[in-house]
Chain A
Amino acid sequence: MTWLQHGLGKGSGDTAQSWSEALLGSLNFWGLLEGTHLLALMLFAGTIFVVDLRLLGVTFRKTPVSVVSDRVLPMTVAGFLILLATGLALFFAKPMFYYHNLWFRAKMIFLVLAMINIAVFHSQVQRGQSAWDNHPTPPGPARISAIVSLVSWILVIGLGRFIPYDWFQCGKPVPHWANVLQDCKTSEKGAYEKTAETAIKGAQS
């Protein structure tokens, strides 16, 4: 991670920047990447929510599930590819920060959960789809899959928005569990236990 942030692409000379540092320090490019990451959610999440709502039987009840998913999911995939490309670039701009960030780690867990849910849906739930494709309300397993999808993506978005907030940032006095979960000991700013600060304040008073 340190090499990714400070080493990769670095030229010679005192003021030389790595590619990661150059990206982070760019006048507008980082902002455009971050903005695109957010705006692509309108395409990605906005469309996958509609597919999930159809699976729950609360919209497009008269339209076969296969029609909604065939027509809408290509747009969802396009949105996801934009999110993935911009997300990887944003991670590359501050790899150490994201790697040791509690919210980023939690976001990745729910991202993986959402992916597993998609795999289970395609391999298991969709097997018998021809039997319920026209049903206004699909069967239980499809509805459960839709709920898992909705909850996972809402959490991925919410946790993603929490990333810049420094409530549990490494190097600040944070609870022991936060230091452990973020692996703060190996971060650039180190680990600082909240109990240590309390002890010092107590000794001072």
Chain B
Amino acid sequence: MTKINFELFFPALRPWVMNLVNVWPAYIIKPQYANWEVLHILSLTLLGGTAILMNLRLLGRGITEESPSEVYRNLRRWQDVGVIGIVVSGILIGMANAEKLYDSTAFVVKMCALLGGVILTYGASRPVARADGAVPVSARLWFILGGLIWLAGLVIFATGTLVNVGLYHVIFAAALIVLIAAQGRLRWIFLIGLLVIFAVHQWVTHVTYADPFDLKHLDPANKVFTWIYVVWIAAAAAAQTFMASRNKATPALAKLIAWSTILVWVTGAAAGRWIAFE
């Protein structure tokens, strides 16, 4: 399969990319690379924490004593700091490490998640939170655009050799959100089902096919189980989204926007980490 990276889309750019490390301020950043990486991670935590709290509120969890618009008002500036922080530190460490990123599939995923994340956050999630769950037409359009870009990133992630395992971070995060957002019986049914799938998965990949080099069987088995996880989590998320929305003010679309906006940033972070494992 063709490796999807920026070289595929812009094959003539290699000399320019290779020279980026010699351009101001990359040659200053290069010796201090680790410090800027720390700034990148700290910005990610601030962005992650604010995205989680703002969007969980739309899912009916988190600081429920306050309205979604109040949570939004209190967190928006800190979220802006997080977004500006990841972009600025990302550009700087990216320039200092440009050729590796030019060859990387995970970096394409990360850029899709960044673009999708900014569109979903500023175009959909924040306007919906500001309107206490009401979804204006513009937010619907931004949700479709941002969601499609994010989905494109997920497809590239799934097909990327050596990086597709990173998708498990997104699946794990989605399962965690279901555990936080779901209530009562649904939460327990979901958890028990998840543990059963996990146990059977481990049994098949460690007992039925015990040879770790038997990729002819292990690879399709892992793919099948990955889909089973995805379907199970998506079904529980749909149940939480649509069943709970019937009697409450927050419409299902606002919840879908909230789900996507948390997971798009998780996708970006996961892809960013898996650049190193490519």
| A residues at B contact (CB < 8 Å) | 27-28, 31-32, 34-36, 38-39, 41-50, 53, 59-63, 67-68, 71-72, 75, 78, 154, 157-158, 161-162, 165
Contacts and interface: CB of A to CB of B under 8 A. Distances in A.
- The secondary structure that dominates the B interface is helix
8 contacts: A41-B48, A43-B48, A67-B65, A72-B63, A78-B180, A154-B42, A158-B38, A162-B38
Contact of A36 (B51, B53, B169, B212): B169
A161 B41 contact: yes
Contact of A42 (B38, B44, B63, B66): B44
A36 B165 CA distance: 12
Contacts of A71: 62-65
Given A45-B45, A46-B45, A59-B74, A32 B38 contact: no
A35 B62 CA distance: 25
Nearest to B168: A32
A179 to B, nearest CB: 21
Contacts of A45: 42, 45, 49
Given A36-B172, A47-B53, A157 B38 contact: yes
Nearest to B39: A158
B265 interface: yes
A46 B169 contact: no
Contacts of B46: 46, 49
A157 B65 contact: no
Interface residues of B, number: 40
A120 B136 CA distance: 47
Contact of B37 (A28, A43, A161): A161
Contact of B38 (A31, A50, A75, A161): A161
Contacts of B18: none
Contacts of A31: 165-166, 274, 277
A165 B33 CA distance: 11
Interface in B25-64: 34, 37-38, 41-42, 44-53, 62-64
A42 B269 contact: yes
Nearest to B65: A67
Given A31-B166, A42-B266, A67-B66, 9 more contacts: A31-B277, A35-B169, A36-B169, A39-B169, A45-B45, A46-B52, A49-B49, A59-B78, A71-B65
A68 B169 CA distance: 27
Contacts of B44: 41-42
Contact of B62 (A34, A44, A61, A72): A72
B66 A38 contact: no
Contact of A46 (B49, B176, B180): B49
A15 to B, nearest CB: 13
B75 interface: yes
Contacts of B42: 45, 154, 157-158
B173 interface: yes
Contacts of B169: 32, 35-36, 39
